A and B are shown apart, each in its own frame.
Chain A
């Protein structure tokens, strides 16, 4: 700053004198030392500056009305001073110009003049700063500055030699492009009308305008609310008055911004501010506080006027369970302070049945889903809403303190705190509108789809929905890449011209996408020797046959993969609609063929939300029972569908999930009806229950519940829930089936029944391999109570490798009880006993 400053600050006479009465003379010396310019010029400049001041005051009186004007005028004052002071340095030419222009009307000034003022702002900026510095400056430093100045002048950025006015103006312009920070203030002054110089400023350059430590500080002074502008005028008058007296205040600006009861004074020094506000009645001097640099921009931020809410406008709720929900303004009350809105209720009907303590927790934690109010449903629960008049409106259903009409909730809310209007950045989405729209069919089949009967809000949603979907349809078409999403290597079909029906591989695409080269693949047409045919892109379309595996590249279902099950031509369109059966979620989606690409990849489009993926085992919160788990079977835009451990499907929001349990699921081991170990990834047959006879893979397991996945099932992404004891391990993994002669007794049941002394001992003549590897507890003898793994087994004895000792002991079979498998997984023996016996019985029957 100082390097550049050296050139500009020189003329700061007034400010300097503010601190030192004797500086005037020294300053004169200074100038004379610094400059080779004639002293007389300086004198004349001073004179003209006085003229400027007079005139400025007049002008100030003229436009007293506006605060902004005030500031600018004030700036004008200082800048004018500076300007005149500065002139001697630039060139003789400018001096004359300045004097001449000084007597003219300011508003008539040409560009050159206007721009000329800007550097003076720069000058002014350095006033006080330099001021302080110069107080301590010794001759040596001055000499240094002088040298620098001379050098710079020789380098001749500007100022040396006589340049044309235009050249000069350009130079200055150049310069303050570099010193952008000062530009806005100058714009306030004059350039405003002249042209959008600031149009050059991008967001990045805007960033550079943000105040820094080298800029004047800002002090906030409290005052009587409503008096801000008056007080600013007073400060301004004081400023000009002091300036005329030759003791300008060291402040750079004073502003009354939109904040009530506060004015802001900008200066490099605190004493200057103190002086400026001293004696101004109404300004509370003691309340003066420095505004941190980071907050300075906020002071000047112009808050856009709050748009009042209007009837039939879409708003968003900002509080409670309804936060973020879409609502429609039905009426505006209290001159816009309150309004009546209509929204889809989120009622929790279970609340009233719960004990108050639980209800309170539930009310706080569980966000009920959006659902239309339904009297019939309430009646089924034994609750009856009352017909009551909504204040100022028609009769509505009244239930638990809320009013409902046509299924919607009607509520009076305060604007600003309860709702905020939907801005352009956050318009109602298709999804929301769809949810908002109440379909007549939902009410009952006997009721016709009569538009006249439809709720007005629902109609509004419907019309906007149509508009949006139309728009989306258009953009969807326009968005397709040139050539209908054609990619080299695609199979295409000719739909126009002589070669209609021909298919081929796309060999090359024109750079602008207007023509394509195709290598024919079917030889229905004799093309002679030509191997490549050129077509316009409009003449061909992507050919997607039924049965291919595709990936959706664009649109709503982007990144879904699946198999094409049907292709239907679209009326009036060149491309077709393909029905795709998705791989993972097993649902049918309709996609334009232009949005498809043949691919072997397997993926589901939307498979992640808040860190959860499809088929994740999750812990659910709420719902009363603790430790409810489930598997995600659908990932929506903002919620999941989860099938829980009782096979009940419900929708949950990401907030309601308490983390994944995939890891523990993968580690878990359960036992099937025959006592076989089953774990994730195993294939099982369901032996009983509603899913009897099905074969499926274990996707996840939670305790004894298996979440099975079957590719052939379409509902719930192929997931269904079965108890592990209702399944039989499929395939050759089952160790014990057809075990010769031991009656098919499950290995699990064997030792228990023996230790109990009641089980059938006969038929066990052979080595029971199944016991090997199991964790057993020794039940009698020297090693009673010890745990160990069975390392070997004979007909009568087992060899147990003790867990706690480095020792293998032989124990009579009857004296061990299995407590877990080789992985140490323990089972609740009391629970297993009957099941194991039952298993033994069933297998006995079959054998």
Chain B
């Protein structure tokens, strides 16, 4: 789920950056440091929306290095997977154990155990795709699937999730050819 939240971040600046463009530097640096990062409790920072410059407080000089620490408040667009959340994802890779799908930066693994019964044995080695027993559904890389998040793992700066397509209204909705059949 995407949401906007105001967060705080500490920026350490070397004295070389002090000058008329200080605030701009801070904003740039903040974006560089924070965007794309996964914060354990908030999810991926997709975009830094706004850094109110009046909110940048005066920094504190570190006595041993001369660097200055600024505490910066910013509003960011966050992507956080919630358990049981339903998402549309793009399949990136299929392997005999399941497939990987991406929602923006978030990687979701769907195991073959989390696929409908008619697909669990349907891995096609030649085309690297998951095929249902009646050959109607073919999930290969590039497809769009609707899946439900069942669990997530938070690592340092990274979040991965486990999803399922074994439920009503879940599964393939875009075969990657461009025309969306269902939607």
Q: Residues of A with Cβ closer than 8 Å to B?
A: 545-549, 563-566, 579, 581, 586-588, 600, 712-715
Contacts and interface: CB of A to CB of B under 8 A. Distances in A.
A563 B151 contact: yes
A564 B152 CA distance: 10
A579 B111 contact: yes
B29 interface: no
Contact of A565 (B92, B95, B109, B154): B109
B96 A546 contact: no
Contact of A546 (B93, B100, B151, B154): B151
Nearest to B107: A712
B150 interface: yes
A563 B95 contact: no
Contacts of A588: 97, 111
A565 B162 contact: yes
Contacts of A715: 95
Nearest to A562: B153
Given A712-B92, A713-B95, A549 B153 contact: yes
B113 interface: yes
Contacts of A549: 153
Given A547-B151, A712-B93, A714-B97, 17 more contacts: A546-B151, A546-B162, A547-B149, A547-B150, A547-B162, A548-B151, A563-B109, A566-B113, A579-B113, A581-B109, A581-B111, A587-B97, A712-B100, A713-B95, A714-B95, A714-B96, A715-B95
The 5 closest A-B pairs by CB, nearest first: A547-B151, A566-B113, A565-B111, A547-B162, A547-B150
Q: Which one of A545, A563, A564 has the greatest number of beta carbons of chain B within 10 Å?
A: A563
Contacts of A579: 111, 113
A714 to B, nearest CB: 5
B164 interface: yes
Contacts, number: 52
Interface string B142-175: 0000000111111000000110100000000000
Contacts of A581: 97, 109, 111
A598 to B, nearest CB: 11
Given A545-B151, A547-B151, A547-B162, A586 B92 contact: no
B98 interface: yes
Contacts of B164: 546
Contact of B152 (A547, A713, A714): A547
Given A586-B97, A712-B92, A712-B95, A565 B114 contact: yes
Interface string B36-68: 000000000000000000000000000000000
A588 B111 CA distance: 10
A563 to B, nearest CB: 6
Interface of B: 83, 92-93, 95-98, 100, 109, 111, 113-114, 149-154, 161-162, 164
Contacts of A566: 111, 113-114
Contacts of B153: 547, 549, 563, 600
Q: Which one of B109, B149, B162 has the greatest number of beta carbons of chain A within 10 Å?
A: B162
Nearest to A566: B113
Contacts of A586: 97
Nearest to B95: A714
Contacts of B113: 565-566, 579
B18 to A, nearest CB: 26
A600 B40 CA distance: 13
B10 to A, nearest CB: 24
Q: Which one of A547, A549, A586, A713 has the greatest number of beta carbons of chain B within 10 Å?
A: A547
A210 to B, nearest CB: 58
B92 A546 contact: no
A565 B93 CA distance: 17
A715 B95 CA distance: 9
A588 B123 CA distance: 15
11 contacts: A545-B151, A546-B114, A546-B150, A546-B151, A547-B83, A549-B153, A565-B162, A566-B114, A581-B109, A712-B92, A715-B95
Contact of B161 (A545, A547, A600): A547
B98 A565 contact: yes
Contacts of A713: 95
A24 B130 CA distance: 105
B120 to A, nearest CB: 10
A565 B97 CA distance: 10
A712 B83 CA distance: 22
Contacts of B162: 546-547, 563-565
A575 to B, nearest CB: 17
Q: Which one of A549, A565, A579 has the greatest number of beta carbons of chain B within 10 Å?
A: A565
B92 to A, nearest CB: 7
Contacts of A547: 83, 149-153, 161-162
Contacts of B149: 547
A468 to B, nearest CB: 28
Contacts of B109: 563, 565, 581
Contacts of A714: 95-97
Contacts of B151: 545-548, 563-564
A491 to B, nearest CB: 13
B93 to A, nearest CB: 5
A545 B114 CA distance: 13
Nearest to B92: A712
Contacts of A564: 151, 162
A265 B92 CA distance: 85
B75 to A, nearest CB: 26
Nearest to A587: B97
A600 B109 CA distance: 17
A388 B115 CA distance: 54
A549 B161 CA distance: 10
Nearest to B166: A566
B50 to A, nearest CB: 26
A583 to B, nearest CB: 9
Contacts of B83: 547
Contacts of B161: 547
Contacts of A548: 151
A566 B166 CA distance: 11
Nearest to B163: A547
A714 B97 CA distance: 8
A311 B96 CA distance: 45
A546 B161 CA distance: 10
A772 to B, nearest CB: 22
Contacts of B95: 712-715
Nearest to A545: B151
